Amino acid sequence: MELLSALSPIVKAKDEFTFDFKLLGTDRATAFQRAGKVKTSSYGEDVLSLPIKDASDGILAKVPSP
């Protein structure tokens, strides 16, 4: 992931990142929204994978089963 490799060198211990994910429907209404924070514990820590997985799990939970 290009963004992750660009972000990792600037991440330091005890940094805090805030994320806000929003998925809009075709009618422009918010179909899903999730916000959260990640606090790092070490230099170069991956701050993207966990929030992206959390948001994708939430979106998938809203998709009806066939």
- Output the pLDDT for position 20: 94
Q: CA dist 62 to 28, 44, 47, 59, Å?
A: 17, 33, 24, 5
* Domain limits, the chain: 2-62
Ramachandran category for residue 6: left, alpha or beta (phi over 0 → left; psi -120 to 50 → alpha): alpha
pLDDT at 4 over 70: no
Nearest to 40 by CA among 31, 50, 30, 32: 50
Dump pLDDT digits (tens) for 20-66.
Answer: 999 998 999 998 999 999 999 999 888 888 899 999 998 898 888 77
